[in-house]
Amino acid sequence: MSRTPKDPELASRLSRRNVLGVAAGATAATLLSGAAAQASSQDGGHGKDHGPGKGHGHGKGRAVLPPGRLGIQLYSLRDKVSTLGFAPVFAELEKYGYDEIEFAGYTQGSAGAITLAQLKRLAKDHGLNPIGSHVGYYDDNNPGAYTFAQNLTKVLDEAQALGLKHIGTASGPFRYGSTVDGWKRAAEDFNTYGAEARKRGMKFYQHNHAEEFSFATDKPKVRLYDVLLAETDPDLVYLEMDIYWAFCAQFRFGKRVDGTPAPFNPIDYVLKQPDRYPLFHVKDGTRNDAARDGYDMTDVGDGDIDYKNFLSRVTARTHPQGLGSARPGETPFGRTYHHWQTEHDNPVESLAFARKSSEHLHSLRESRCGD
């Protein structure tokens, strides 16, 4: 595995960072190098060669990815966390050029126990900003469940202890069913969680899958995601768009139950209310019209979702002057950029996925005249 990213801008930035981190991370890097190197040799250190027709934009213009805003959902690396612990994984992510992490649990599984204070310190030692976390929405059959509905105070206490700016759920708002009124009740729950999170300086968010874009069972012309947006307070409830699942929903729910067309473009939701989408999941898929979801999940950069276009349009819409002379992570107006978390539910080799995803997204460039 090459220790130096192929993107010169990324390489220059990483040369100024402590590549090894804490001693535990350095030791762990040795343990991981064999598996990562094997994966690198299998894919040649690149994603698929898309060519100009894919529109993935490996040009020489300005970087599409905003500086300091690349993260990863640690669910993608759960196999390595459970066998080796957080320290080895964080050491690798630092070398791959990641800036942020999003949690999917705060334990190491079979790798042993770790306190929240240790976890926070470990992330800091590797230059990783814990930006958010996924927690269950509800488990009404278990009053002791670690969910927003059953243990809101504990969930927020632990998020605050980790210094998280966002705390959310990847559970769909189906607690009370798939009717309009059922989703209005779920929206009331979310408003409550958002209000409590806001008191602690955090933003509550909901992460979508495809089903959120389906239609209400009692009003089949009403898209449930539209109910969620309309009934939640935009100052209390935010959204993390999983771009892959949103495109799957476009395929699955582009028609109503009666067969009448109901097309939508995922990016239009973001462009209408960009401030409601602080977080994104960058997950790729190869188009497959024979599959239920219309895509087969794959490593970022190996699929057919045009992330250059998506990142470019979102960044341009929110920050029309682009990067300019802003400091890393800021716009010329002092506002922060969105946060982009790579993810794969079941990668073939999770560390290779993490490396390839970072490499691909850092390589994306805006087109210039003559390119």
Summarize pLDDT for 312-325 with one digit per residue, the tens.
999 886 654 444 43
How sure is the predictor about 189, in pLDDT bands with cuts at 50, 70 and 90? very high
CA dist 358 and 72 (Å) reads 9
- 109: DSSP letter: G
How sure is the predictor about 279, in pLDDT bands with cuts at 50, 70 and 90? very high
Mean local confidence (pLDDT), 227-232: 98
In this structure, the dihedral spanned by the alpha carbons of residues 170, 172, 173 and 177, taken in order and rounded to 10 degrees, is -150
How sure is the predictor about 367, in pLDDT bands with cuts at 50, 70 and 90? confident
How sure is the predictor about 128, in pLDDT bands with cuts at 50, 70 and 90? very high
What pLDDT score does 12 carry?
44
How sure is the predictor about 9, in pLDDT bands with cuts at 50, 70 and 90? very low
Strand order across the 237-242 sheet: 129-133, 100-103, 70-73, 339-342, 279-282, 237-242, 203-207, 166-169
What pLDDT score does 241 carry?
98
SS (H, E, C) 229-273: HHHCCCCCEEEEEEHHHHHHHHHHCCECCCCCECCCCHHHHHHHC
Cα 150-202-109 angle, rounded to 5 deg = 55
Helix (H) or strand (E) holding 332: none
How sure is the predictor about 57, in pLDDT bands with cuts at 50, 70 and 90? low
- What is the C-alpha end-to-end distance of the chain, expressed in Å? 30
Distances (CA, A) of 358 to 112, 122, 355: 28, 21, 5
Q: Which residues partner with 280 through β-bridges?
A: 241, 340
Give residue 178's region: left, alpha or beta (phi > 0; psi -120 to 50).
Answer: alpha
